[in-house]
Structure 1
């Protein structure tokens, strides 16, 4: 019954999506609003159907219904209830099912929230959303059917991949990633819908920017959560390895970030319209490409927990999307021509243009390094790998330049600036740059990347904080407000602008955390007997004992360590090795003591069966916690920017964003 309910819901959703897409287009072309209304009803019904299908799968997982193929693949009677429920997205078929739910939810919300503003664009955007949904629903009733019948019915299953039942972030990272990935479908739909409708006025950029910002915020959190998960689970002391799965989520983040900046140039100057449409299309295509790379099994990855045979379908879908988008852009080339021009080389316009060029180069570099092994194997028949040294060597100069622009962009005005303004805006940041660089050199730091990263971060931090300070001073002079009140009201008066600056501060915290933890990392490995100690970077680890216990789904071996500084005990750590029946290798659970200055990170590598000794790998890594804090600040900035009020009309009758009006003042 559960299998039939879930499969039927997916099949009906497919039929409704195809009908809705056709009805939306016909309703727009024939000017028949009742057809558009029926398409909207189909979108709402799709969400209900996918919700039913997902709940049916959760019920099957919880009740251990091994007659259903997906439950037999990831279910186990020994798996705790929490990990049983979230195994919904732990393998290929379930992840596609959850993707369908998120996509149908976004479609319903896009109709609900953007219906009035979208106007004539809505039917076409809805048709695109339902057409994309049709592709995923087709997978659910075909090659990625999670409700297949198992015969004979197994008594038990292997359970989820051990790495997916070893940390609470399994419940957080994948949903955030789907909310970011799938959310990029909405701006793609509004951009292509505007091209189909011929509505290439300011409306399309407003609609697209807001939905892009929403998905970008989720994707930012997902990337940070993924880094944290890797740090807490894989036991290697790092958080980013330029792994194909990491790159798959990073590339659409780069292009979406570029779009959020270039969209402002189009709003202000009427420029970069073709470029902006191309960025929106590229972002959507990169999310599908990332899904292909991580779900087809074509690339190896320590994060690739699901593999399947649906790679051909994704490649065909990518080809259709690219051909469709290129044809639309070519057909609307006249309407897509810019109406303005850049004013001045030293201006925010130029800074944003350079920003976009750097983000594009960054994306191409990551894409090249990720796909090169595939190309090499296809052409030469030889398996090669592209590792962290290539990515670091190629991207570090780009990162340094982007850090510098994070400070330059906010400090420059639109158009040609006055010299007095340039001096006032840039003297403090350049003083900060020189002070930071000089201090590091005086302390003996000679690594060019380390000095440049800290110096440029100091420059950008001073410039962005200066924008808050300048605005607060202006409000104090104009309204006589106390500094805290003036700052709060300043931010509330233009949340989009200051949300962007807040996101910049989050990026700078992440940059400082990555630079410090990679440049000043200390590590030691030692085999200890009970009572012996390991000294590392001002910390002393004393090995107390080994202990073990049997848990429902695994056997755990752990070490008790006391952390000392001098004769003072700072607490205890218990790194573990977890043994699962379905895995030949143990899964490590590192012990991490996080502080603002540095993390103490310890992994249990091996042990004697009689408990007489154990081998540990210890790391001390400065400012790692700043990375996680930076992710939270970025999310806060995105949320603040999304709180911007709806646009209002200018005195001339043209609808302009309130943020633009405030900046013009």
Structure 2
């Protein structure tokens, strides 16, 4: 019954979305407001229909109706309740349904907002937004039906993939989906501006918060994904340049460029064509990223199994790209900016340089990600680009980006004199150089590390000085230090909020240098009572215990005492988890974490015949936190 209700709601949502596209098109073409209002109502109605479909699927998962193929694939009788709920996005068909539900919610929210001068956009927002929704609903309803039934009723299900049982997987996929879908909203408003010919800044002002919220969700999703990889994949790192990781990073990069660039359009009425290009690029990368995850066209630990929806995705991406390019070409005269760069040393220029560097990073990531496909098409052999190649190619560009992050706030609008910039930079350069020299004296000899630490320290100092200068100016008006700082942030949220984010990126820069350059690693076989040393840490192997866990889980758990500089600090328990139903082993690390470093240990292998010997892999990850 629930499956029938869910599928009925899904098909009706498809029909309603189709109606919204047609009604909005007819209403705008024939200037009939009633049709447009009807299309708006249809767009809003899609959300409760998909909420009903999603709730039906959750109900099927909770009661364990294994006659539904999706429930059988991702759940079992012993699956914990919370994991039954999160199994909604644990497989191809369910995650498409979840994606549709979230997208319908975003479109409904856009329809329910208070429309002012931008009401002219409404029919075109409905057409483009509902057409995108229609594509994904078509996949869900007719290609990857989550409510499809089996010919028989199995007594139990397969259970959720062990990789997806980590707590981070409860919120990591929803955060990514919210970020991806959130960027669709500014795109549809941009297309509405192009189609309507209303190409002032209204569409940018309307979508500013949508863009920022989407960017924040996508950022959080990337961070949580890195944490999941660190906790579950067992290779001692947080980012492996996996194709699916890159598929999420690329729209984040173009979205970051867009967030910076639109400020110049608002302030100086420049970069209109550029901003349109960036938001179209972001939309295409969102769809392309979804294509990578859902088709398995590039091998990835994160992607779903290969499916037959690839050609549909490819056709949709091609159509939307051609559609967008047509309207940009048609409106190219209106997209020409009334103002132009007056100096290559100005704040506008600094923002443009920032965009160029970000897009250079994006281009390299794109090329390396799709290199397996490109090489297979050209040579008939599937190539591979490893993490080391990414790091060597991208490290200089990230360094330039951090420098721009620190220097750009010192520039002025229109024009900045070289003398003024030199005066602003003189003492920060000297202070950072002295700090870097001190690091050299203290024993750091890696040229790459010294250059990297100079750059991130320089950017950090310049950013902190911006906070100090603003606070000091307010203190000059009689405010105490705390009042001055609080009011500075409260009354200049956009500017100093950006600086806070810059500081977060800079702190991450310190962490990346620490773990990528100074990470230490060793692997050794130990018998009970033996130890290994790594840096200032020593670990003593005290034995292995095997026991049964919930949901067909068998746990092999080692007990390890960790000492630092000869002093006991913690007992840790790295494990190997085996789900007997799927015979899929998971190597789960344990660690001793501090703000300055992690001592990270994996149980690689246990010899059950002796019971007293095991192989361990240990990492010392400086500054990773």
What TM-score results when the alignment is normalised by the length of structure 2?
0.97
Match of 2:94 in 1: 94
Match of 1:55 in 2: 55
Offset, 1:539: 1.5
Match of 2:119 in 1: 119
Offset, 1:443: 3.5
Match of 2:221 in 1: 222
Match of 1:85 in 2: 85
Rounded Cα–Cα distance in structure 1 between residues aligned with 2:496 and 2:310: 42
Offset, 1:465: 1.2
- What per-residue deviation string (whole Å, max 9, x for no partner) do you get for residues 355-405 of structure 1? 111111111111111111101112221121111122112111111110111
Rounded Cα–Cα distance in structure 1 between residues aligned with 2:178 and 2:439: 41
- What per-residue deviation string (whole Å, max 9, x for no partner) do you get for residues 291-348 of structure 1? 1112111110122244321111110110011010000000101110011011222111
Offset, 1:26: 2.9
| TM-align CA RMSD | 1.6
Match of 1:45 in 2: 45
Distance 1:174 1:432, change over 3 A: farther
Match of 1:188 in 2: 187
Rounded Cα–Cα distance in structure 2 between residues aligned with 1:113 and 1:453: 46
Match of 1:654 in 2: none
Match of 2:508 in 1: 510
Match of 2:481 in 1: 483
Please give the residue correspondences for 1:13-412 in structure 2 after superposition, counting only pairs within 5 Å. 13-113=13-113, 115-116=115-116, 118-165=118-165, 167-412=166-411
Rounded Cα–Cα distance in structure 2 between residues aligned with 1:471 and 1:622: 33
More off after superposition, 122-131 vs 615-624: 122-131
Offset, 1:587: 0.4
Q: Match of 2:522, SS?
A: strand
Residues 343 and 349, structure 1, Cα contact 8 Å, conserved in 2: no
In the TM superposition, structure 1's runs of 4+ consecutive aligned residues that sit over 4 Å from their partners are 418-421
- What per-residue deviation string (whole Å, max 9, x for no partner) do you get for residues 451-485 of structure 1? 2221111111111111111111111113x000111
Residues 531 and 542, structure 1, Cα contact 8 Å, conserved in 2: yes
Rounded Cα–Cα distance in structure 2 between residues aligned with 1:47 and 1:523: 50
Rounded Cα–Cα distance in structure 1 between residues aligned with 2:115 and 2:176: 26
Match of 2:544 in 1: 546
Residues 345 and 417, structure 2, Cα contact 8 Å, conserved in 1: no
Rounded Cα–Cα distance in structure 1 between residues aligned with 2:565 and 2:258: 52
Rounded Cα–Cα distance in structure 2 between residues aligned with 1:154 and 1:71: 11
Please give the residue correspondences for 1:447-462 in structure 2 after superposition, counting only pairs within 5 Å. 447-462=446-461
- What per-residue deviation string (whole Å, max 9, x for no partner) do you get for residues 93-142 of structure 1? 11100100110111112222363363211221122111110111111111
Residues 92 and 307, structure 1, Cα contact 8 Å, conserved in 2: no
Offset, 1:81: 1.7
Residues 411 and 464, structure 1, Cα contact 8 Å, conserved in 2: no
The higher-RCO structure (CA 8 Å, 6+ apart) is 1
Q: Match of 2:224, SS?
A: helix
Rounded Cα–Cα distance in structure 1 between residues aligned with 2:160 and 2:54: 17
Distance 1:389 1:595, change over 3 A: same
Offset, 1:552: 2.4
Match of 2:527 in 1: 529
Residues 193 and 203, structure 2, Cα contact 8 Å, conserved in 1: yes
Unmatched 5+ residue regions in structure 1? 626-665
- Give the count of matched residue pairs: 623
Residues 180 and 219, structure 1, Cα contact 8 Å, conserved in 2: yes
Residues 575 and 589, structure 1, Cα contact 8 Å, conserved in 2: yes
Offset, 1:566: 4.6
Rounded Cα–Cα distance in structure 2 between residues aligned with 1:582 and 1:192: 49
Offset, 1:424: 4.8
Match of 1:592 in 2: 591
Match of 1:580 in 2: 579
Offset, 1:592: 2.0
Residues 179 and 214, structure 2, Cα contact 8 Å, conserved in 1: yes
Residues 71 and 157, structure 1, Cα contact 8 Å, conserved in 2: yes
Residues 396 and 449, structure 1, Cα contact 8 Å, conserved in 2: no
**Structure 1 residue 464 and structure 2 residue 463: aligned?**
yes
Distance 1:119 1:196, change over 3 A: same
Distance 1:173 1:533, change over 3 A: same
Rounded Cα–Cα distance in structure 2 between residues aligned with 1:396 and 1:432: 23
Residues 412 and 422, structure 1, Cα contact 8 Å, conserved in 2: yes
Rounded Cα–Cα distance in structure 1 between residues aligned with 2:428 and 2:13: 56
Q: Match of 1:120, SS?
A: helix
Residues 292 and 303, structure 2, Cα contact 8 Å, conserved in 1: no
Residues 296 and 304, structure 2, Cα contact 8 Å, conserved in 1: no
Distance 1:56 1:540, change over 3 A: same
